[in-house]
Amino acid sequence: MTVDPRVGAAVADAHRREWAFVLAATVRVTRDLDLAEECVQDAYAKALATWPTNGVPDNTGAWLTTTARRRALDLLRRQATAARALPLLVETHTDEGREERLVGAEIGDERLRLVFTCCHPALSRDAQVALTLRLLCGLSTAEVARAFLVSESTMAARITRAKKKITQARIPYRVPAREELPDRVASVCEVVHLLFTTGHAAPAGAELIRRDLVERALDLARMLRTLLPANADITGLLALILLTDARRGARLDEHGQLVLLAEQNRARWDHDAITEGVSLVRETLRHRPPGRFALMAAIAAVHDEANSWDTTDWREIVGLYDLLVALWPSPVVALNRAVAVGFAHGPAAGLDALDPLTTEPQLAGYSYLAAARAEFLARLGRTHDARTAYEEALHLTENTPERDYLTQRLDQLQG
């Protein structure tokens, strides 16, 4: 079937922007995640079939939500499963209606009900994050797998197990009571952070940045900050997102080509976001000891407050990474620290810090490790080795602007 390009674009835009709202509203009807997903997918398929004739509705989210919920009710009636489905995700507190009016009214977003359900303590941390990215954001299983640096089959199995766990444990589909919130915040922060990083540097496709994911993560971080303004992790997370996303306007040139931080026009950065982010960093660093997101935000602040690449305080950045590695040992953090070492102490030192990471299993398919090695090798004049590393990075990269940049660097070395 040939689809009108304008309708196809409208449906794609509605998928990016409205998926979470539509799914969350449909789960309220089905009390079953798989059935809700099926109904939402049917609604998008119906949009492709009917919008070319009837026109794109003014409120695509409302149209999709109504269509998905009607489909859900129809299936429940026809299959006579309503009596069995309603106890799933049952809300057991007798005073929960009052709690939801108080807490939910503060949040004002149905998506957080879904986030907190997926981040229930009964699920493992990896399952919490993976399931929320899959359900809240509509990411494909392959995209979630890339965010975790695992295979697609591994991620598919993880998501399936998590859904079954929610059903079997009868996890409530609700915003937690206020006394439960602090214990659940760490998982939700992890979700929002991975959501942001997936949008900030899209794992695949023609776009370097998925603005819908970035903006959704920023919205969620602000909502969490409104709910728990004294929580240092939430404050640090919001600061990190603001300070990192502030550079968005300078990351591509007028031809859509990638521009590295060293070459960006800093006048194109969002300086209002930087001011807000730096203020939040100062606030969160008053809590001792500083948390993971506070340290990451502090690193971003050092970059953003530097007047130029040459005046960046790389030694301070290395020191902050040392604290971060001790607090949150992660192969990706170790990689970022090694890159900072290279800029603070020279490419040979950077290469020495990167080399041990080449045997790290979690970085085996991570293109940024090969690209970083290629850059330091080139600076050391080891052109042949640099070309090999750039070819490896190119092989591992599925994002078009990043591929174009790597191809350009490879061509320069070959020339």
DSSP 43-65: HHHHHHHHHHHH---S-HHHHHH
Cα–Cα dist 64/51, whole Å? 11
> Per residue in 38-53, pLDDT tens?
999 999 999 999 999 9
Q: Give the pLDDT confidence score for residue 141 in this predicted structure.
A: 87
- Identify the band that residue 349 occupies on the pLDDT scale cut at 50, 70 and 90: very high
Higher pLDDT, residue 31 or 262: 262
The whole-number pLDDT of residue 102 equals 34
Is pLDDT larger for residue 394 or for residue 2? 394
Give the model's pLDDT for residue 400. 95
pLDDT for the residue numbered 3: 65
Of 182-186, 307-311, 356-360, give the lowest mean pLDDT range: 182-186
Asked if residues 237 and 221 have their Cβ atoms less than 8 Å apart, the reply is yes
pLDDT at 112: 73
Question: What is the percentage of the chain residues whose pLDDT exceeds 90?
Answer: 56
Q: Cβ distance 363 to 149 under 8 Å?
A: yes
How far apart CA 50 and CA 351 sit, in angstroms, is 57
Q: Can you give the three-state secondary structure of 115-171, one letter per residue?
A: HHHHCCCCCCHHHHHHHHHHHHHCCCHHHHHHHHCCCHHHHHHHHHHHHHHHHHHCC
Q: For all residues of the chain together, what is the average pLDDT?
A: 87
The pLDDT value given to residue 109:
60
Q: Looking at residue 84, what is its pLDDT?
A: 57
pLDDT tens digit string along 131-184? 877 887 777 888 888 777 788 999 999 999 988 888 888 887 777 777 777 777
Q: How high is the pLDDT of residue 2? A: 63
Entry pTM: 0.76
At residue 68, the pLDDT reads: 94
Residue 33 is encoded by which pair of tokens? 């995640």
Q: Which residues of 154-165 are buried (b: 16+ CB within 10 A; e: fewer)?
A: ebbebbeebbeb
Please check the confidence at residue 82 and state whether its pLDDT lies above 90: no
